[in-house]
Structure 1
Amino acid sequence: MKTRESPRRLWALVASTLWLFAVSALSTAHAATPGTPRQAEAVSPQVQALQRAGDAVVALRVTATEGATSADSLGMRRSGSGVVIGPDGLILTIGYLLLEAETIEVITQDDRTLPARQVAYDLATGFGLLRPLVPLRGVEPVPMAGVAGLTLGEPLLVATGSSSGTEVGFTRLIAARPFSGYWEYHIESALFTSPPVANHSGAPLFNRNGELVGVGSLFVLEAAGADRTLPGNMFVPVELLRPVLAEMQSTGSTRASIRPWLGLSSSERNGHVQIVRVDRQGPALAAGLQPGDVVLEVDGIEVATLEAFYKQLWKRPAPDAEVELTVQQGSETRKIRIQAVDRMQTLRKPSGI
């Protein structure tokens, strides 16, 4: 179910969506019966919480720097959503929107377009932080919640900002499990929901209490797992942000993001790791790796999954370590040495910095 609302306020959103949350929240309540004043009092805090959550959603417009290599996969102009999590206007989004950004604009619920600057990008979790250069007015930060209180099948709310309005949709929690991305990315916990929302990039995921539980990252075809086709979305849980938030704000990243990077996009096929794309300026291309190559070993250790591949690669203490891959190229098996690099050092910065 979706509701299209004016970007100024989300009161209509609360009115239209409260019922689904209320039914779930009140189904196990042992207080008043439906229709009594006591029930109305119980629901009222949810109205306020969802209102606050909706008001904290913003739209983002990003233009990448000229020559940004990330434009190959993300484009020069990007749009998505963010949500205010700090009293000083700090906004949380998905980090890939901010990669090599030249300009960032925030469109608020009261129709203001504000310039913003990047505060941090964390390669390890995938989170991005930014802050408007002009103070936000009347926006309260949303509280964050962990995944422990969520149950499978629970209804959740997704709100996505845009210059023409705020699109709101219901989804349900399908699974919580580790996730390995094709772009040299792995997290031990990810939230999978269905039905999917189209404008998922940076979209905040709220529980019935208006608490932030995740940030939108991907559209996926197998939300329920590899053995079942079910379109949905992957959200990065905000509980991964808590341990690194202070570090991100003070350093612009985290220590975990300083790790070897090869410049590969890979997938799992038939029990093997297969390369599907090679970054045009990454070390893998210079070493001779090609799309279609199958990675068999990392430094003599067999790897059959993306998770195993990445974890073996990231064992090195230095990001610029030499890595030996055993790969199958056609009918030939080769050992290829690659000088890995620190991905954070390859990203272009805005002009003047």
Structure 2
Amino acid sequence: MRVVSTPVAPRLAAAILILVGVTIGLGITGGAVGVGTARAAEPAPLDAERVVRSVVGISAVVPPDSQSSRTLGTDREGSGVVIDGSGLILTIGYTVMEASQIQVTAADGRSYPANLVAYDPVSGFGLLRAEMGFTAPWLRLANSDAVKEGDTLLALSGGDNRGATAVKVVGKREFAGYWEYLLDEALFTFPPIRAFNGAALVNREGRLVGIGSLLVAEAMEGRPLPGNMFVPVSALEPVLADLLAYGRRQEPARPWLGVTLREEMGRLLVDKVSPRSPAESAGLRPGDWIVGIGGQRFSGLADFYRKLWGLGPAGTIVPLEVMRGATLTPVPVTSADRVRFLRLNPTL
């Protein structure tokens, strides 16, 4: 069920109350997913107007010479969620990292400048603070660990794509990204929403459960069911104080190589090597197959990351074993701190 996007917050809030007021059954049979018969449910204690107004649109301009512009572009759009009374906004970090200009658009259509407060490459979260008189209701963080497969939640987007969709949690599992990223547990939902990056995932009490990150082809493990991946807010709470005080978590940075990887039959193919990265400096190149690390084999992408990060902090020499054609080649890579390669304050 899709609520038609509208710039008028009260209308969207009314539509959300309709969504929350019914139980939507998403039956999964024979590999297909269908919407079941809706039946009346107990009214949920949700302030729909507050939820709508807490979700903002985000636009960011990124310098063309920044590292991330090569893959993410220079003009980015997304959503964010206000999480305190001072205009602090939680979003997905790739929308705003390395941005030289950030603007947020409130539910009433007014736009305000915003500053990057923190970017956390471990969780993938970004924090902004809106300026120049911005005010909006804020959402409390839910216990995302309590979310279960089968739960029905609301996914809300802001900006030009403002709208709300009832979604079902169809997966709660590990996620390994090809860009040296790993979540021990992510939330996967169906049906897919297109305006997913930075979207709010909200429970029936109007609390924030997760932040939208990706459109995925396999939301339900083992089935070709498209959906979205959300980062649970439980990943934010342990490091929120560090992010607010220092702009990053206060623990040794993980070793970063600077590669884009693709997993095939337990081996890892190097798809891309980031310019000026540790991998490029070590001579790693696209087409290489990583088959071992420090004399150890690995079972897949997630296992490789855990073995990589288990070698020590950023700066550790990573002894990779690489297949080039029929030749097994040792490639030692002096790892680095990923954040130091990003222009998180492009004005400097």
Choose from 261, 284, 292 the match for 1:297: 292
Q: Which runs of 5+ in 2 are unaligned?
A: 25-38
Change (3 A) 1:13 1:349: closer
Whether the 8 Å CA contact 2:7–2:108 is kept in 1: the answer is: yes
Instruction: Indicate the percent of aligned positions where both proteins have the same amino acid.
Output: 38
Change (3 A) 1:329 1:304: farther
Change (3 A) 1:236 1:169: same
What's the CA shift string for 1:39-77, capped at 9, x where partnerless?
9xx62732x2x2211110000000112410101111011
Residue 165 of structure 1 and its aligned partner are, at CA, apart by 5.2
Residues in 2 aligned to 1:129 and 1:120: alpha-carbon distance in whole angstroms:
5
Residues in 2 aligned to 1:316 and 1:54: alpha-carbon distance in whole angstroms:
45
The alignment status of 1:233 with 2:231, answered yes or no, reads: no
Whether the 8 Å CA contact 1:65–1:350 is kept in 2: the answer is: no
Residue 329 of structure 1 and its aligned partner are, at CA, apart by 1.5
Q: Counterpart of 1:260 in 2: which secondary structure? A: coil
1:232-251 matched pairs, under 5 angstroms: 232-251=227-246
Counterpart code for 2:164: V
**Corresponding residue for residue 36 of structure 2:** none
Change (3 A) 1:348 1:315: same
Choose from 54, 75, 80 the match for 1:82: 80
What's the CA shift string for 1:241-286, capped at 9, x where partnerless?
1111111101101135711110011122112222222112211122
Residues in 1 aligned to 2:333 and 2:148: alpha-carbon distance in whole angstroms:
44
Residues in 1 aligned to 2:44 and 2:328: alpha-carbon distance in whole angstroms:
65
**Corresponding residue for residue 34 of structure 2:** none
Number of aligned positions between the proteins: 334
Residue 18 of structure 1 and its aligned partner are, at CA, apart by 2.6
Choose from 214, 217, 224 the match for 1:221: 217
Choose from 128, 139, 159 the match for 1:142: 139
Residues in 2 aligned to 1:307 and 1:351: alpha-carbon distance in whole angstroms:
32
What's the CA shift string for 1:299-353, capped at 9, x where partnerless?
1111231111111111243311111100112222111011111111111244442
Residues in 1 aligned to 2:305 and 2:108: alpha-carbon distance in whole angstroms:
43
Whether the 8 Å CA contact 1:161–1:167 is kept in 2: the answer is: yes
**Corresponding residue for residue 92 of structure 1:** 90
Residue 239 of structure 1 and its aligned partner are, at CA, apart by 1.1
The alignment status of 1:308 with 2:283, answered yes or no, reads: no
**Corresponding residue for residue 166 of structure 2:** 170
What's the RMSD between the two structures over aligned residues? 1.9
**Corresponding residue for residue 4 of structure 2:** 4
Q: Counterpart of 1:141 in 2: which secondary structure? A: coil
**Corresponding residue for residue 29 of structure 2:** none
Q: Which runs of 5+ in 1 are unaligned?
A: 26-33
**Corresponding residue for residue 108 of structure 2:** 110
Residues in 2 aligned to 1:348 and 1:342: alpha-carbon distance in whole angstroms:
13
Residue 198 of structure 1 and its aligned partner are, at CA, apart by 0.9
**Corresponding residue for residue 16 of structure 1:** 15
Q: Counterpart of 1:196 in 2: which secondary structure? A: coil
Residues in 1 aligned to 2:44 and 2:95: alpha-carbon distance in whole angstroms:
36
Whether the 8 Å CA contact 1:89–1:135 is kept in 2: the answer is: no
1:13-92 matched pairs, under 5 angstroms: 13-24=12-23, 43=43, 45-46=45-46, 48=47, 50-92=48-90
TM-score after normalising by structure 1: 0.89
Whether the 8 Å CA contact 1:259–1:317 is kept in 2: the answer is: yes
Residue 218 of structure 1 and its aligned partner are, at CA, apart by 0.6
**Corresponding residue for residue 189 of structure 1:** 185
What's the CA shift string for 1:139-174, capped at 9, x where partnerless?
221011123432322222111112x35122222100
Change (3 A) 1:323 1:148: closer
Residues in 2 aligned to 1:145 and 1:322: alpha-carbon distance in whole angstroms:
40
Counterpart code for 1:336: V
Counterpart code for 1:275: V
Whether the 8 Å CA contact 1:190–1:237 is kept in 2: the answer is: yes
Q: Counterpart of 1:65 in 2: which secondary structure? A: coil
Whether the 8 Å CA contact 2:148–2:172 is kept in 1: the answer is: no
Residues in 1 aligned to 2:80 and 2:5: alpha-carbon distance in whole angstroms:
17
Whether the 8 Å CA contact 1:124–1:256 is kept in 2: the answer is: no
Change (3 A) 1:349 1:245: closer
**Corresponding residue for residue 121 of structure 2:** 123
Residue 8 of structure 1 and its aligned partner are, at CA, apart by 4.4
Whether the 8 Å CA contact 2:252–2:313 is kept in 1: the answer is: no
